[in-house]
Amino acid sequence: MERNARGHRLIQSAANPVIKRARSLREKKHRKSEGLFLAEGLRILTEAREAGSLPQQLFYAEDRPGHPLAEELITATLAAGGEVVATSEDILSKLSGKDNPQTLIGLYPDRLTPLADLDRHAAPIWLVVQAMRDPGNLGTMLRTGDAVGAGGLILIDDCVDPFSVETVRASMGALFTQQISTARWPDFISWLRSGPGTLVGTSLAPGTVDYREPAYPAPTFILIGNEARGLPDDYEAACDVRVKMPMHGKADSLNAAVAAAVMAYQVLDRQERG
Amino acid sequence: MERNARGHRLIQSAANPVIKRARSLREKKHRKSEGLFLAEGLRILTEAREAGSLPQQLFYAEDRPGHPLAEELITATLAAGGEVVATSEDILSKLSGKDNPQTLIGLYPDRLTPLADLDRHAAPIWLVVQAMRDPGNLGTMLRTGDAVGAGGLILIDDCVDPFSVETVRASMGALFTQQISTARWPDFISWLRSGPGTLVGTSLAPGTVDYREPAYPAPTFILIGNEARGLPDDYEAACDVRVKMPMHGKADSLNAAVAAAVMAYQVLDRQERG
């Protein structure tokens, strides 16, 4: 095994199996079979470290000057038993799929928590998404969840992979601060009803109240439906509260990540006001 | 000129100058020189029509069954003196840059309003963005603006083009309900100070107040800074109110379109409560 002057493993060929394996994690099927995913960039990897996650493998650009935070990441990764790999900017570019790659890429074990292991009392707000299709929306929701102090994100039905490169990027590292579970709807409902919790759905159906009215006791679960179709009727019916936001425009809709954020800040406000 | 059975101009070659010109509008320089842009899809074109905008040219897929709303668009476009062009799905695909193109694509005159012509009293909320770089964020903000009944969006400094295909798509048609102006910062400030208006900046600087405190009298202008850098210090200093949103997480940041939406709904709430 080739090593650089610092004693780190040095890989200069994109054909190296270590690189090929890391690159394969850009595809969902390989992430799933390996239970690993990629995160990129000094900022996101530092957020991950601060949230207690260190990479199994950390790739850095051999010929780029090291930032002090990058050095801290290298030290911490080695101390935790991970491997540090020095490589070229060109190979990092291949891993990230971007022309101007980040100078650091980490390979992390996926962060799925079984629903049964979620501690609903650990946070006053939880986000629940149904058939969410856009990785940018999902990442943005994770970022919002972190900002409002949510406990995590529960994915119902066929959602986009929360560990895709695009989601991790849009989350700006918040992926590492949020618990993430996936569940089928009946399993989610039976878990939810096994303890305290208010399920809130955004809706335009009859029987909805203005989103500023309910008290939203903790823990409140905010349910957001698919970008194009919204929530299925029976999912709405299962909610404890159905709320609507004012719509003064012609288009009568909000982006899903925006709706989640406006709801989450409203819930936080009501909970803080008590 | 070839015509189909309905009497519409029929174009079956991607080399036709009409197609080449429409396709060129995918690039900013051609949009700018022609003063035209593209919008795609039945839903967005219908929103545009309801907001009073009809395309100069309307392209539809000759061999796809027509939706009643598509027929209405065809009739209204012709009645307003526009041209309707029947073409192939393959050519629509080239125009839209997507494999599964929308069945309708319209070519519209750009919607820039000179700042001096904006009527600030026409709406209680206005969005102002500085150096916004992401077309999805910009489109999402237009959609939010429509939902809260904002009057429009003012773009400061070097922003992404509001008439890009990606922005129009993310706006879901709200682009056509919002007035859009571009301005240099000093010109914006001198226009703003020539009449009533409260300029609100989101900030983490000293002297900020919780975003739920101010009264936000109409018209309120919500200023959102660049995704990565936020607002320049002197722009913040020029704001009448500097507010912060609660941040309970580790990452201490929100997506720009999310921050705009949470602020806009808060302003709307305060204005509605009087």
How high is the ipTM of this complex?
A: 0.93
Domain A115-273 has CATH 3.40.1280.10: yes
CB within 8 Å: A250 and B51: yes
What are the two backbone dihedrals, phi and then psi, of residue B226, each rounded to the nearest 5 degrees?
-50, 145
Q: Is B246 on the interface with A (CB under 8 A)?
A: yes
CATH class for domain A9-109? alpha beta
pLDDT at B103 over 90: no
At residue B203 the predicted structure's pLDDT band, cuts being 50, 70 and 90, is confident
CA distance A252 to chain B (A): 6
Predicted confidence (pLDDT) per residue in A149-201, tens digit: 999 999 999 999 999 999 999 999 999 999 999 999 999 999 999 999 999 99
Predicted confidence (pLDDT) per residue in A82-112, tens digit: 999 999 999 999 898 877 777 899 999 999 9
The whole-number pLDDT of residue B241 equals 95
Query: Which amino acid is present at A166?
Result: E
DSSP, res A221:
E
Of B9, B14, B101, B112, nearest in space to B58 by CA: B9
All residues of chain A having their beta carbon less than 8 Å from the beta carbon of residue B136 are 136
Q: Is A218 on the interface with B (CB under 8 A)?
A: no
The whole-number pLDDT of residue B57 equals 97
Predicted confidence (pLDDT) per residue in A29-64, tens digit: 999 999 999 999 999 999 999 999 999 999 999 887
The whole-number pLDDT of residue A101 equals 72
Angle between helices A256-273 and B135-148 (to 10 degrees): 60
d(CA B79, CA A180): 54
CA torsion angle B73 B76 B79 B82 (round to 10): -50
CA angle B172/B174/B178 to nearest 5° reads 160
Q: Is B154 on the interface with A (CB under 8 A)?
A: no
All residues of chain A having their beta carbon less than 8 Å from the beta carbon of residue B268 are 246, 248
Q: Is A42 on the interface with B (CB under 8 A)?
A: no
Q: Are B220 and B125 in contact, with CB atoms under 8 Å apart? A: yes
Among A174, A246, A251, beta carbon nearest to B173: A251
Among B255, B261, B268, beta carbon nearest to A143: B255
Among A147, A246, A257, beta carbon nearest to B248: A147
CB within 8 Å: A269 and B212: yes
Residue A241 CA, chain-centre distance (Å), reads 26
| b/e burial code for range A205-220 (CB count within 10 A of at least 16 → b) | eeebeebeebebeebb
All residues of chain A having their beta carbon less than 8 Å from the beta carbon of residue B248 are 147-149, 268
pLDDT at B158 over 80: yes
- Rounded to an integer, the average pLDDT of A193-220 is 92
CA distance A122 to chain B (A): 14
Domain ranges for chain A:
9-109, 115-273
| β-bridge mates for residue A183, sequence order | A156
Of B175, B154, B164, nearest in space to B111 by CA: B175
DSSP, res B100:
S
Q: Mean pLDDT in chain B?
A: 94
d(CA A97, CA A95): 6
- Best to test chain A binding among B248, B263, B271 (most A CBs inside 10 Å): B248
pLDDT at A205 over 90: no
pLDDT at A251 over 80: no
Q: Is B262 on the interface with A (CB under 8 A)?
A: yes
